[in-house]
Amino acid sequence: MSITASYVAIAVIITRFLLKRAPKIFSYLLWLAVAVRLVIPVSFTSSFSLLRLVQPQGRSGTGFMEFVPQDMGMQKHPMVDAGISGISHFINSTLPAAAPPSSANTMQIILWIASIIWVTGTVILLFYSALSYLKLRSRIQTATLVKDNIFETDRITTPFVCGFLKPRIYIPTGLSEHELAYILLHEETHIRRRDYWIKPVAFVILTFHWFNPLMWLSYALMSRDMEMSCDECVVDKMGDQIKGSYSTTLLSLAVRGSGLRTGSPLAFGEGNIKARIKNILAYRQPSSWIAVGSILVIAALVLGCAADPKPLSHSSQLSAQSLYSGYDMEKLMGNKTLYVGNHIKVGGLIGGMPRPSGLEGRGIELQTKAQPYGVTVYYVVNDDTVVLKDGTISGEAFYRNSVLLLSLIDNVDWITYSIADPTGPNVDPAYSFTLTREKAEKMLGEDVRPYGKDQTSLRQLIDRLERLNFNETGSAV
């Protein structure tokens, strides 16, 4: 969720820059897409998804994006797919290999320590936020009611809204009448938009993703957009002539003190004073076409970031260009995967390979809980007159496909094809073909994984396998 939200945050930051001349309310609304990604692990799928640009792994039909395998600590070679090959390679090069089953698993120990650190950091931030809020409440207990929901006290230096069910505006003493008008309109805008709920909720979300620097940056920029959009609302309602005096009010409040930095209160004048003043002085009411254009950009970005990429459909009629000796090269390269636990990719690889006539697929089974890790592909005979020759099935096609799978699945150790014959006397599989990575490397004299780097290398491997004859034990002659 945090990785996905990071990509969305980058898209929002870039869009904010493109919308710098538009009212800040539009930039403020953009952060909704990041919040959705941080909170909800599933989403709807759509062909219009910006996440397609980073090519994340997806679980078909679930709307769940997977960047880290759930059995990461159990894999022989733990892998992370960050969606961008360069980032994935950098991360995976730093991950330790899992230890043998009889000894401590280094990866599991690291994940356990990281979990403790994450929980500790979350608890500390939540405790800090609660303590800051209670400290603030104690400072405003003696505030005097001015009118309606407005209270005044000399124990604060900057105005803010406080309260979740009955929000109140607290102002420092000594404000002039025109300063008070600006401040009240600003804080009333916060209340009308329910910002006194949004900012605390955003901070709570941040505490669960505190380890991600992009989320801290997003929270800071969201808070800035929130304040600037309220400033612009004041200018819209009171006119451009108040820009100078309103900016002076902001500056004078900043001089009084550093403000209340508790993580949840919406403090008027809290930080970013220079940027807010520059925005007020440069602000112009947008033309209708800028407003409409900004709304369309926001709608497109929120929809594109909230949706998961729809899995690309593969036509049943494969083009001649994509086929090579019966192998769908585009499908094979598109489903190349770092770890065997990604059943979507493994299934895609098997679907891109030729299947002997007379057999019907019955699914796959992935062994990822303990090493060695493997794949079992199940078939059933539906036409024994086509399959059987001299009372048996030739294993050449299965062994060739096994070598291809070993080259395209980075951490798989063995491939098994299990064929059941419902017409036979036994319920157990009638035929079974198994090829281990060790046997494949001995057979070809080298590691087969480098052949999976591109289509050219994969074609060379296919040509090489076509020249080999496999006997019943899987040996090549």
- Domain residue extents for the chain: 2-305, 323-466
Question: Cα dihedral sign for 46, 61, 8, 123?
Answer: positive
Distances (CA, A) of 129 to 173, 196, 202: 26, 15, 12
Tell how many helices (H) and how many strands (E) occur in the chain.
16, 15
DSSP code for 447: -
The answer, yes or no, to whether residue 32 has pLDDT greater than 80, is yes
Q: Which of 199, 214, 217, 117 is nearest to 161 (CA)?
A: 199
Model pLDDT for residues 38-80, shown as the tens digit of each residue: 888 766 666 666 666 665 555 444 455 555 555 555 454 555 5
The answer, yes or no, to whether residue 269 has pLDDT greater than 60, is no
The pLDDT-based confidence of 246 (bands split at 50, 70, 90) is: confident
- Tell me whether strands 150-153 and 168-172 are parallel, antiparallel or unpaired: parallel
Which one-letter amino acid corresponds to residue 29? L
Let me know: does 396 contact 469? Beta carbons within 8 Å: yes
Model pLDDT for residues 121-156, shown as the tens digit of each residue: 999 999 988 888 888 888 888 899 998 889 998 888
Give pLDDT, residue 84: 47
DSSP code for 63: T
Model pLDDT for residues 78-99, shown as the tens digit of each residue: 555 554 455 555 555 555 554 4
Let me know: does 51 contact 81? Beta carbons within 8 Å: no
Beta-strand runs (E) in 354-428: 359-367, 374-381, 414-420
Of 18-27, 48-57, 81-90, 197-206, the range with the lowest mean pLDDT is: 81-90
What mean pLDDT, rounded, does the chain reach? 79
User: How far apart are alpha carbons 238 and 183 in whole angstroms?
Assistant: 12
Mean pLDDT for the stretch of residues 328-354: 88
* Strand order, beta sheet including 359-367: 359-367, 374-381, 414-420, 431-436
Residue the block writes with tokens 């900043």: 254
The answer, yes or no, to whether residue 220 has pLDDT greater than 60, is yes
User: How far apart are alpha carbons 454 and 352 in whole angstroms?
Assistant: 15
Q: What is the DSSP string of 399-415?
A: HHHHHHHHHHBTT--EE
Angle in degrees, CA 158, 162, 163, rounded to 5: 175
Mean pLDDT for the stretch of residues 290-304: 80
Between the ranges 148-162, 244-258, 287-301, where is the mean pLDDT highest? 148-162
Which one-letter amino acid corresponds to residue 374? G
pLDDT above 70 covers what percent of the chain?
74
User: How far apart are alpha carbons 337 and 186 in whole angstroms?
Assistant: 53
pTM of the model: 0.60
Of 83-87, 110-114, 337-341, the range with the lowest mean pLDDT is: 83-87
Q: What is the DSSP string of 292-342?
A: HHHHHHHHHHHHHHHSEEPPPP--SS--TTTEETTEEHHHHHHT-BS-TT-
The pLDDT-based confidence of 406 (bands split at 50, 70, 90) is: very high
Distances (CA, A) of 388 to 61, 116, 323, 429: 37, 57, 26, 15
Report which of residues 106 and 228 the model is more confident about: 228
Of 85-99, 236-250, 263-277, 376-390, the range with the lowest mean pLDDT is: 85-99
Element at 58 (helix H, strand E): strand 57-59
